[in-house]
Amino acid sequence: MLVRTGLTEQSVEVVIKAMSAETWRKRKAGVNLLKEYMDEKDLSLDDIKEARPDVTMVNMLTWRNEKGGARCVADMQKIRIYIGFALGMFHNSQDVAKSGIVVAAVKELELAQRSQAKYNRTWNLDLLLMHVGKQGLEDGKQTMSYSMALLVAFTAARMTELTRMKRKDILIDEQRMMLQTKIKKGRKVKEYTIEQRRQGTEYCPVGALEKLLQDGNCWKGDDSAVWINIEKQKALSPQGCGQVLRNVLDEIGIEKEYGGVTIRHAMMTKLRREGATQEQVNTYTRHAPGSNVVDVYYNKPVGRDLSTLLLLKQKV
């Protein structure tokens, strides 16, 4: 393909050597998809060169989406990034992936991947809130479990955010709580400040966390982890936090198929059902502006026992 752009064999070697091994590996993976597409459609490099690059990319995305499979989403990302680079180089064009028809196609096809999400439905967040309100905060272990569940339910905290949380990151006064948190994506670490006001309810996350920090089992140093295994006296891992939350779901009677992290899913579903826009939920849950991740992967129908509907109009 590089030769077809007009480069000599020596120039091609220079270009390839200039790429890092990792860059070459990733772009090679994308080119393999292009070759598979060309073989199935019986296309030559001349056919690819004559067609508009953005049209070729949309055709490839549609082709891969129709094939389906577990690798579908990952392969479509490779097409959008690496094939876009290859086509841009082939046509002396930049930002093929930012073409209007490519952007529209990507948006539509990502929505078509809703069925690829791990959960097709979620559970009702009110079940958790009612359970915690009824049980109250008693011993240290229960206080930790319920305060973690409430914090996730009201802030959509990720498991990795929980494990990075230190006592010095939390400031609580009579009206509110200010929580400093970090999200790491690749090599970048983004810092956020989460504000939660006290609620006049039995399941207030601020009151629950305040009680946890005052509990005798909680570590007291400013640099100490907030979430710990009380029996082993060690900081919890992301998997450990997930298990603590799953134990709370066991108390409620939530089906085993749902991991502890689905408290976040239930929370985002409730926000969307109550009228919050996708952009508002993105901001509240620390997702990137313009992202449709919330609606594609988290906002799901709430599971219901339909047999109860048959009894609604029955007279006792």
The pLDDT of residue 123 is above 90: yes
Residue 189: inside a domain, yes or no? yes
The verdict on 88 and 186 lying in the same domain is no
Residue 174: inside a domain, yes or no? yes
Domain termination site, one of 76, 99, 116 = 116
The verdict on 96 and 175 lying in the same domain is no
The CA-based angle 171-176-178, given to 5 degrees, is: 35
**What mean pLDDT do residues 107-127 have?**
72
Confidence class for position 14, pLDDT limits 50, 70, 90: low
The verdict on 292 and 218 lying in the same domain is yes
Q: What is the DSSP string of the chain?
A: -TGGGT--HHHHHHHHHHS-HHHHHHHHHHHHHHHHHHHHHT--HHHHHHS-HHHHHHHHHHHHHHH-STTHHHHHHHIIIIIHHHHHHHTT-S-GGGSHHHHHHHHHHHHGGGGGSS-SSB--HHHHHHHHHHH---SHHHHHHHHHHHHHHHH---HHHHHH-BGGGEEE-SSEEEEEEEEEETTEEEEEEEEEE--SSTT-HHHHHHHHHHSTTS--STTSBSSEETTTTEEPPHHHHHHHHHHHHHHHT--TTS-TTHHHHHHHHHHHHTT--HHHHHHHTTPPTT--HIIIII--PBP--GGGGGGTT---
**What mean pLDDT do residues 7-23 have?**
57
The verdict on 132 and 193 lying in the same domain is yes
Domain termination site, one of 73, 88, 116 = 116
The pLDDT of residue 84 is above 60: yes
Residue 307: inside a domain, yes or no? no
Residue 306: inside a domain, yes or no? no
The verdict on 109 and 130 lying in the same domain is no
The verdict on 44 and 73 lying in the same domain is yes
Q: How many domains does the chain divide into?
A: 2
The verdict on 224 and 256 lying in the same domain is yes
Residue 312: inside a domain, yes or no? no
Report the CATH number at residue 259. Answer: 1.10.443.10
Residue 47 vs residue 116, higher pLDDT: 47
Both tokens of 133, joined, read 């309100």
Residue 100: inside a domain, yes or no? yes
**What mean pLDDT do residues 202-207 have?**
93
The pLDDT of residue 313 is above 60: no
Q: How many CA atoms lie within 13 A of 67 on its CB side?
A: 17
Separation of alpha carbons 278 and 1, rounded Å: 41
| C-beta neighbour count of 162 within 10 angstroms | 23
The verdict on 16 and 162 lying in the same domain is no
pTM of the model: 0.63
pLDDT of residue 24: 47
Residue 272: inside a domain, yes or no? yes
pLDDT of residue 101: 87
The verdict on 151 and 231 lying in the same domain is yes
Residue 305: inside a domain, yes or no? no
Residue 136 vs residue 300, higher pLDDT: 136
The verdict on 232 and 287 lying in the same domain is yes
Residue 107 vs residue 101, higher pLDDT: 101
| C-beta neighbour count of 42 within 10 angstroms | 7
* Percent of the chain residues past pLDDT 90, beyond the cut: 45
Sheet holding 170-172, edge to edge: 170-172, 176-185, 188-197
The verdict on 58 and 148 lying in the same domain is no
Most confident of 10-14, 110-114, 169-173, 215-219: 169-173
The verdict on 81 and 130 lying in the same domain is no
Domain termination site, one of 116, 146, 181 = 116
pLDDT of residue 185: 75
| C-beta neighbour count of 30 within 10 angstroms | 20
**What mean pLDDT do residues 21-35 have?**
64
**Domain, as residue range, for 64:** 3-116
